[in-house]
Amino acid sequence: MNVIPQHRNGVLKITLSTSSVLAMATVLVLAVITTQSAQAQTFTTLRKFDSSDGSGPFAGLVQATDGNLYGTTENGGLPYGVGTVFRISPDGTFKTVYNFGAEDNTGYYPNAGLVQATNGNFFGTTSSGGTPVMNTDYGTVFKITPEGTLTTLHSFSHTDGGVPLGALIQASDGNLYGTTNEGGPNGYGTVFKITLSGTLTTLNSFNNTDGANPFGALIQASDGNLYGTTLEGGSSTNSDGTIFKITTGGTLTSLYSFCLQTHCPDGDLPYAGLVQDTNGNFYGTTDGGGSTKGSDGTVFSLSVDLGPFVETQTTSGKVGAAVKILGNDLTGATSVTFNGTAATFTVVSTSEITTEVPTGATTGFIEVATPGGTLNSNKSFTVKP
């Protein structure tokens, strides 16, 4: 199943003062924002696409280490009209970095967004195209430099997956992980791993009983495992989507099947992936279900007893760089350490601490000591030279 929602063109910026943010997944991202007080808001349209520079920026943006924002359009671009990679500065300076279609093996229609890996390059997928000699049209995984040099790392052949729609993620082991909406040995889509140099391994081929047709991106949770959703399939004939866990080695566990009850009060069709809150629970959305009408959708949570943690709003920085630490019950925190090196800090609220990368800090995990116990960061913090 290959379902692409309708889109509206344009890259937008909105400035909103908030004191607490809980990220939730929609087709892109659903944010639940608690505002401390009503303040002025500034909305600015930074770019209006006109097809020649791209059309249908379906996926979200990623802010790169150079401070610019990078994204994809699934259509448009000259001269072929099959998608672009673009760069836009926070003040709106725009540049088309790459136009797809110049060569067949570069793929077409990059529906998903990009991820910037630790080596500075961007990685993404196209939902169609591939190496002509393989007679494929099932999409690709590509690498592109910030300057616009693109390399096709893998062309899907349907037997190893096809039509990747969710964005890639780079896990803590340095490899990239993603899903295909179709294909694989069982024909219902796959979970795959691919190295930065392009070696692909199929970790799981969905068989409909454990899920079918994953659409959203994976996440790596605080326990190091990968979590995601499938759009369809599940443990019964009435199921319409699943939540699953998979290890980086490929062991998959089905955690929940949607629409097990009449009219799907628990929801169905979870297009988007999951987010993990600092309380350890997962949150997400379904496109349908949740009422007797069966079509209004839901917001759900799932607990698997992973426990609370803290996360940083940036995962890298030089000594002296400002860092925000987000979590729960941070009031009364007594220490913050970067891989064992103590840092000065300020408790802003029960959910936020501000600090700076201390002198002598090395790459590793951040720990925050609170009256309720020590909280570790969900990702390693990279100290830049």
Three-class DSSP labels, the chain: CCCCCCCCCCEEEEECCCCEEEEECCCCCEEEEECCCCCCCEEEEEECCCECCEECCCCCCEECCCCCEEEEECEECCCCCECEEEEECCCCCEEEEEECCCCHHHCECCCCCCEECCCCCEEEEECECCCHHHCCCCCEEEEECCCCCEEEEEECCECCEECCCCCCEECCCCCEEEEECEECCCCECEEEEECCCCCEEEEEECCECCEECCCCCCEECCCCCEEEEECECCCCCCCCCEEEEECCCCCEEEEEECCCCCCCCCCECCCCCCEECCCCCEEEEECECCCCCCCCCEEEEECCCCCCCEEECCCEECCCCEEEEECCCCCCCCEEEECCEEECEEEEECCEEEEECCCCCCCECEEEEECCEEEEECCCEEECC
The sign one gets for the Cα dihedral 208, 213, 216, 222 is positive
Of 18-22, 193-197, 290-294, 329-333, the one with minimum mean pLDDT is 18-22
Q: Is residue 254 pLDDT above 50, yes or no? A: yes
Q: Is residue 14 pLDDT above 90, yes or no? A: no
Task: State the average pLDDT over residues 17-36.
Answer: 37
- Per the DSSP assignment, residues forming a β-bridge with 99 are 84
Report pLDDT for 25.
39
Report pLDDT for 231.
96
Q: Residue 59 CB: number of other CB atoms within 10 A?
A: 23
Nearest to 371 by CA among 324, 342, 330, 325: 330
In whole numbers, what is the pLDDT of the chain averaged over residues?
A: 88
What is d(CA 14, CA 44) in angstroms, rounded to the nearest whole number?
6
pLDDT band at 37 (very low <50, low <70, confident <90, very high): very low
Higher-pLDDT residue of 31 and 239 is 239
Q: Is residue 66 pLDDT above 60, yes or no? A: yes
Q: Is residue 8 pLDDT above 70, yes or no? A: no
Amino acid (one-letter) located at 176: L
Task: State the average pLDDT over residues 236-240.
Answer: 85
Domains and CATH numbers, the chain: 11-302 (2.120.10), 311-383 (2.60.40.10)
Contact assessment for residue 328 and residue 279, using Cβ atoms and an 8 Å cutoff: yes
pLDDT band at 103 (very low <50, low <70, confident <90, very high): confident
Report pLDDT for 212.
97
Of 74-83, 126-135, 206-215, the one with minimum mean pLDDT is 126-135
What is d(CA 83, CA 93) in angstroms, rounded to the nearest whole number?
19
Q: Is residue 9 pLDDT above 90, yes or no? A: no
pLDDT band at 31 (very low <50, low <70, confident <90, very high): very low
Q: What percent of the chain has pLDDT over 70?
A: 88
Report pLDDT for 39.
64
Q: State the burial class of residue 44 (Cβ atoms within 10 Å of its Cβ: 0-12, 13-18, 19+).
A: exposed
pLDDT band at 10 (very low <50, low <70, confident <90, very high): very low
Of 17-21, 55-59, 301-305, the one with minimum mean pLDDT is 17-21
Report pLDDT for 293.
62
Task: State the average pLDDT over residues 335-350.
Answer: 97
Q: State the burial class of residue 52 (Cβ atoms within 10 Å of its Cβ: 0-12, 13-18, 19+).
A: middle
What is the widest separation between alpha-carbon atoms in the chain? Answer: 63
What is the per-residue pLDDT across 136-165, written as a single tens digit (0 to 9) for each? Answer: 689 999 999 999 999 999 999 999 999 999
pLDDT band at 304 (very low <50, low <70, confident <90, very high): very high
- Per the DSSP assignment, residues forming a β-bridge with 45 are 12
Report pLDDT for 133.
52
What is the DSSP pairing of strand 316-317 with strand 382-383? parallel
Q: Is residue 7 pLDDT above 70, yes or no? A: no
Report pLDDT for 239.
86
Report pLDDT for 350.
95
Name every residue whose Cβ is closer than 8 Å to that of residue 68 and which is 6 or more positions away in sequence: 87, 88, 89, 90
Report pLDDT for 295.
73
